[in-house]
Structure 1
Amino acid sequence: MADIPLPWQTYAALQSNLDTRTSVDALSWGMEEGLNRLLDGEASLSQAGHVDRIVANAVRRDRYGRSLLAKHIIIRNEVYDGPRQTEARSSLALLQHRMAADKLDLLVELASGIEPKHVAERRGIAVGALRTRVARAREVARDMAA
């Protein structure tokens, strides 16, 4: 049998390790990130330690994100505030009618938790250009809602 190049040995080992896991947790998501980076060619494939660092960073980001959700999200203890919800809905309706659809879609994407890097890739622009567009869209939204 022919020797498998190092990047694919690393990929196979990571895939095998992920396949044997019985739960989906931060480490599982970190391994998925490592596999994705190997397929994208972003990882320095000649160094297995680089892939391990990618996995560790993804695990840390996932844990941090979960800790923020646990800290700031109140589950099953929602506060109902009728007048404020009505006001928010009317402001949102106003924005939907007056604001350009691409600007509103951009704000909705970011508000739903999609990382700016992924939004920029989807739209085919640089992250810096995305930030500028977001700042301008937020300014327009604030002016309309005021």
Structure 2
Amino acid sequence: MTDPRTDPMIPDAAGESPGFLLWRVTLRWQRRMTAALAPLGLTHAQFVQLMAVWWLTSEGRQPSERELASLAGGDVAAVGQVLLSLEKRDLLAGTIGEFDPARRLLDITETGRTLAEESMAVVEAADREFFRPVSAEPAFLESLHRLAGYQEQPA
């Protein structure tokens, strides 16, 4: 086993470790999103799921919990809990699938649509402010796409 104190591949300081830096950036960004969404009464997880349903239904689709979990890269049970919290607030409505009773399909309510559009503007403004120091670097988004595992860059 290699001694981490002498291995040249191990950073000398935490500030040189990409994983540690990503962790720090992620925590700062999450705190910024939490602060931006708090006045709207949404958690970041609720925002992500509300926006996913808003986006998919605006394309004429009625997504299932499984599709939403896959889209966000989350656990189906955890996503289901978030979706239930949004249903209790009358932001989403769930129905049993016509051909598969075990498959719950989701739709967004008018109240949910209004909140989704309002929260999207708030989050986009917070993102622009947070990422301002690196937004002029063309490789930044390309690098994020690669790290996120996207095969193709969105147009």
Q: Select the structure with the greater relative contact order (CA < 8 A; seq sep ≥ 6).
A: 2
Asked if these proteins are the same fold (TM beyond 0.5), I'd say no
Q: Which has the higher helix share?
A: 1
TM-score, with normalisation over the residues of structure 1?
A: 0.30
Q: Which has the higher strand share?
A: 2
TM-score, with normalisation over the residues of structure 2?
A: 0.29
